[in-house]
Structure 1
Amino acid sequence: PFGTADDCLFEFGRLQAGETVLVQAGASGVGLAAIQLAKRAGATVLATASSAEKLERLAHFGVDHGINYVEDDLVEEVKRLTDGKGADVIVDPVGGTTLQKSIHSLAYRGRLSMVGRAGREDVKHDVSTLMHGNQTLSGVFLGAEIFSDRVHDLIQRHVDEVANDKLRVVIDSTFPLEDAAAAHAHIESRKAFGRVLLIP
């Protein structure tokens, strides 16, 4: 997840110290990676999750302000927490209606990286607001460049940082491969915090 999060924040998001980052689905694998990388880079980090418990746990990874997307109006909360400005960089692995909310949460000249469709909604988006705000929406798929030297170096750097306890990979739970359906049900229940692994 760190390679994908790194590309969202830096290759496409051009994150600078002092900027504000919003990480959608903060308790996901990519979300937890993005939170750690953004905080380390000197950003103010906002993140969303579905429960107060998850938001409390996210604070230990560097989240400055948590937003419960079940109870709170996301766009209003982002605007409130940024004095009406919005987030400079947004990482969105959810898509669907969440992506539309991300678009409306961007600051002027903000950069939004769409990195997945975990919500699986098929939604037509109004992107005209991006033009008026000189904003950028990038689709990010690390797999398209997986054989490049750049990505190999990026992944190796993050593997070394995990091995040296500079970054943390969070494993929520493991399931035997024959219980793949149960693993998927666990993920879809929104109870997972971090990665869910299938063991052959």
Structure 2
Amino acid sequence: MRAVRCNQHGLPDTLTVETLPDLHPEAGEIVIDVKAASVNFPDVLIIQNKYQFKPPLPFTPGAELAGIVREVGAGVMRVKPGMRVAAYTAQGAFAQQARARETDCVVLPDDVDLALAAAFTLAYGTSYHALVDRGALKSGETLLVLGAAGGVGVAAIQIGKILGARVIAAASSAEKLAFCREQGADEIIDYRNEDLRERVKALTHGQGPDVIFDPVGGAYAEPAFRSIGWRGRYLVVGFANGEIPKLPLNLALLKGASIVGVFWGDHMRREHAIADTEFATMVDWIKAGKLLPVVTKRYPLDATAQALDDMMNRRVTGKIVIEP
């Protein structure tokens, strides 16, 4: 089988595509014929050795996928060969075959679009966990989403609207903001050309947002946090900007605000029963037509480096997938 390999840490152009032996499962595992693998910003960081999860070299990047079960290991009961599944694997998804623990798989209906399923697990799992579990977002509250045109940002817009929030989307271009409008954003902010803090103040009539969803970090974090409302919740989702900001803690005191960490990967590992319930809720939303995962671009396996470079340089909106 063919797989993308990271043989040395570096930028996407250092990746190679190689032919490797077919995979076989260990006890409790399954092997999946990958039909689509989602590209996420942590993939860009992992290959540079800049992420919390640091697999030993060499490795195949890619954290989430969807496909057809090829083989199951000893002790696997719920999943059988031929089933369609989505899986979160942490690594190994950018390949024609991948291994996953049975506990990290979601069985899919036969008619599901596997590219959409691949785009669902990490982005929508992260955003649901952030907004519902960590942020306690309520109907009628105001949600500010930074980096709103990215994968988790779009998921946050959609989930925020389902929960009944007023959603303000902030992004870096008119094209991206138009996309956010299509996903349901009530208001938009171009933070490349507008003063983020002043625009948030105007849109909230000086009250500030109740919840801020921040997967970006960097220079926009402090003005966003300064805009937060009384008892607001600032959700630290990631640092796509590459810079970890230093937030003024005196504002947390003065506004009774909370700075809340969101680490979905460990949430999945430590609190799998809760995560299962969260996914069941979102699947019900999809079946009811309330939630629609969006795939905006698809790449072949040989173009994985280009896909990661496009993600890194923010050339694409929404979710993108590799189709081996």
Per the normalisation by structure 2, the TM-score is 0.59
Matched residues in 2 for 1:181 and 1:130: separation?
41
Partner SS, residue 188 of structure 2: strand
Which amino acid in structure 2 is aligned with residue 90 of structure 1?
I
Counterpart in 1 of 2:255? Answer: 133
**Aligned residues: CA RMSD:** 1.6
Matched residues in 1 for 2:283 and 2:163: separation?
18
Once the two structures are superposed, the pairs formed by residues 106-185 of structure 1 within 5 Å of their partners are 106-147=228-269, 148-185=272-309
Deviation at 1:192, TM superposition (A): 1.1
Structure 1 or 2: more helix by fraction:
1
Once the two structures are superposed, the pairs formed by residues 1-200 of structure 1 within 5 Å of their partners are 1-147=123-269, 148-200=272-324
Partners of 1:174 and 1:198 within 8 A in 2: yes
Which amino acid in structure 1 is aligned with residue 137 of structure 2?
L
Matched residues in 2 for 1:163 and 1:118: separation?
31
Larger deviation, residues 175-184 vs 85-94: 175-184
State how many pairs are aligned: 200
Partners of 1:103 and 1:112 within 8 A in 2: yes
Matched residues in 2 for 1:171 and 1:2: separation?
13
Deviation at 1:160, TM superposition (A): 4.1
In the superposition, relative to structure 1, how do residues 193 and 18 fare at CA in structure 2: closer, same or farther (>3 Å)?
same
Gaps of 5+ in 2: 1-122
Deviation at 1:157, TM superposition (A): 2.6
Matched residues in 1 for 2:242 and 2:322: separation?
21
Larger deviation, residues 85-94 vs 95-104: 95-104
Partner SS, residue 140 of structure 2: coil
Partner SS, residue 131 of structure 1: helix
Structure 1 runs (4+) greater than 6 angstroms displaced: none
Matched residues in 2 for 1:52 and 1:86: separation?
23
What's the CA shift string for 1:56-100, capped at 9, x where partnerless?
Answer: 221122111100111111111000100111100111001122222
Partner SS, residue 106 of structure 1: coil
Partners of 2:129 and 2:278 within 8 A in 1: no
Matched residues in 1 for 2:268 and 2:257: separation?
27
Partner SS, residue 67 of structure 1: strand
Partners of 1:23 and 1:92 within 8 A in 2: yes
Partners of 2:225 and 2:247 within 8 A in 1: no
Deviation at 1:163, TM superposition (A): 4.8
Which amino acid in structure 1 is aligned with residue 189 of structure 2?
I
Deviation at 1:12, TM superposition (A): 1.4
Larger deviation, residues 147-156 vs 163-172: 163-172
Structure exhibiting the larger radius of gyration computed from Cα positions: 2
Deviation at 1:164, TM superposition (A): 4.7
Matched residues in 2 for 1:103 and 1:123: separation?
11
Which amino acid in structure 1 is aligned with residue 294 of structure 2?
V
Gaps of 5+ in 1: none
In the superposition, relative to structure 1, how do residues 123 and 40 fare at CA in structure 2: closer, same or farther (>3 Å)?
closer
